[in-house]
Structure 1
């Protein structure tokens, strides 16, 4: 059991971020064990042909189907919206002795594989190889799907940040994951290993990740305390068909079929581009319908950098669920 003990002001130090590097490394585990991550099978089938000739061996050696992933591959995000290039530079800056030690580390007293031992014997060269290979893997396997992944992650951050403001720790942790519970000032995570301690004055970083599904992942001090969890709506990630509503649907009769479909699609926040992809219409058409829904107080937009993410308002939730 992992138990993070919160001091009185630690809730104020809870922050959110997501990480292209984290998604990329966790996706390697999905490729290694597709049956354990069946939700992502459409992605697995799409990317496997793209990986031919990429030389994935070293990445498969360091990211096994289960167990420990070297921590230097998943540095805690330093900003809410990190850049992959910046994260790769953090990985490249890992001291060689840390690379070697983490490649040799195993859980429950087992021995590292011969391949891991060989990589650990030349940590500087291994680090360069892994960083270069991660960059190529990103281009082939993750970047083409990043816009829809990013929308889902940003939407979850918006939702949970609002819950934290409105209801405190209980609001944000209450439905985070079945393995996570909030108990009288402590956040408990059901794991096979044990840790109990405070947050060392650095707060807790919450990192939504689509590829961590169906599990959660934890990092404990002396690293930045971090909990990675599947975002709300992850089951819709690879859907290609637009939401279906019956011809006699009262909501469609009230506001029009397209606007009813948009309101249903915004069960999870999304950008105009993502909504257009899901519904197989032009972004311009989506923008027009969103303008009407926004004027009626049913949706609202949140600007994140150059992008706007749309979410349903409480009135929109009530209408969509009626």
Structure 2
């Protein structure tokens, strides 16, 4: 169990940030042979495992993620700076201080200094980090890049919604719905992990990073002396999923009442989403989704609110009741 104590100063310094490189790292873990990914990721994993097996450019990653080598240093993932450009993060990786690389490699892989996979990080850290960044770039291009436009929208939406929650409802609302493996009891944020550690208020500022591939692993980064980084699952990972057949014939009462397209929009609103976010998830034109949302809003089935330039939609109590009664979905008491 990880316990992070947050006083008022620490809470005020808490930030949310995007990090495509962290998503790429978690995606690596998700497709490893010993993993059994859940349904939303299975279609993606089939392709990703082919890339992992066959692309020799990934060798530096193969070496670091070989069986039993799961204690990886933060130099694999630089401090999140809120960018949506993975190549900006890879430039930061290439520029990592060589002394930091040597120090962290020795700590994370004790007694392994003579192992061939580790020696480059100790003898020529700059070249080793450059090779690692190149391997990451190859993995990104083959396994992640085709999905990134949709993933980017999901994580950016998550940051906007969470930031709005933090600003309007306070930290209790932010942490309360943040992470299924975490628990917030003021002033302590607890994270379920296989190691035990405690951090007192004021030691470091907290950065929260939403990830689409967080099922691969929840990242908890501690090597940075100024920042404690914690990842969490962004909503909408279903964009990567195989789509099962919907209810057939007269079994889809919601579809018969509203029409299949409008019913699909209603079912997909498990959290605040934009028109484009819904369109990505459903494979529909944004104009079509916008028309459905307008009618659903007129019927008080969904509500809308603006955050910056984006408009977010979510279910009203009427919408949740409709799903519960006609679609048999247990969302009647779901949190808004």
Secondary structure in 2 matching 1:193: coil
Q: Deviations over 1:248-283 (max 9, x none)?
A: 655445543321211111224555555445545444
RMSD (Å) for aligned C-alpha atoms: 3.3
Q: d(CA) in 1 for partners of 2:237 and 2:70?
A: 23
1:71 aligned onto 2:74: yes
CA deviation string 1:219-271 (max 9, x = no partner): 23514111112234546641334754863655445543321211111224555
* Contact preservation (8 Å) 1:214, 1:230: no
TM-score (norm 1): 0.82
The 2-side partners of 1:257 and 1:31 are apart by 34
Summarize the Cα distance change of 1:83–1:202 in structure 2 as closer, same or farther, 3 Å threshold: farther
Pairwise CA distance, 1:113: 7.3
Report the CA distance shift for 1:5/1:319 in structure 2 as closer, same or farther (over 3 A): same
1:256-271 equivalence runs, <5 A: 256-270=259-273
Distance 1:233 1:277 in 2: 10
Matches within 5 A, 1:34-45: 34-39=34-39, 40-45=41-46
Task: Return the match for 2:304 from 300, 304, 307.
Answer: 300
* 2:48 match: 47
Return 5+ residue gaps in structure 1 as ranges: none
Number of residues of Structure 1 aligned to a counterpart in Structure 2: 318
Q: CA contact under 8 A between 2:4 and 2:200: conserved in structure 1?
A: yes
Correspondence for 1:290 among 283, 293, 303: 293
Deviation for aligned residue 1:38: 4.3
Does the aligned pair in 2 maintain the 1:104–1:116 contact within 8 Å?
A: no
For 1:97-136, what aligned pairs fall within 5 Å after superposition? 97-106=99-108, 111=112, 114-120=115-121, 121-136=123-138
> Residue 190 and residue 50 in structure 1: after superposition, are their counterparts in 2 closer, same or farther (change >3 A)?
closer
TM-score, scaled relative to structure 2 = 0.79
* Residue in structure 1 matched with residue 30 of structure 2 by the alignment: 30
Equivalents in 2 of 1:198, 1:116: separation in Å? 35
Shift of residue 299, structure 1, vs aligned partner: 4.4
**Residue 139 of structure 1: which of 141, 147, 150 is its match?**
141
Pick which of 255-264 and 234-243 moved more. Answer: 234-243
2:279, 2:289 within 8 Å by CA — same for their partners in 1?
Answer: yes
Matches within 5 A, 1:143-162: 143-162=145-164
The question of 1:20 aligning with 2:20 is answered yes
Alignment of structure 1 residues 148-297 onto 2, 5 Å: 148-165=150-167, 167-200=169-202, 203-213=205-215, 215-220=217-222, 222-234=225-237, 237-241=240-244, 244=247, 247=250, 251-270=254-273, 272=275, 275-276=278-279, 278-296=281-299
Gaps of 5+ in 2: 326-336
User: 1: CA distance between counterparts of 2:66 and 2:316?
Assistant: 43
Query: Shift in Å at residue 161 of structure 1?
Result: 3.5
Tell whether the 8 Å contact from 2:182 to 2:192 is kept in structure 1 after alignment.
yes
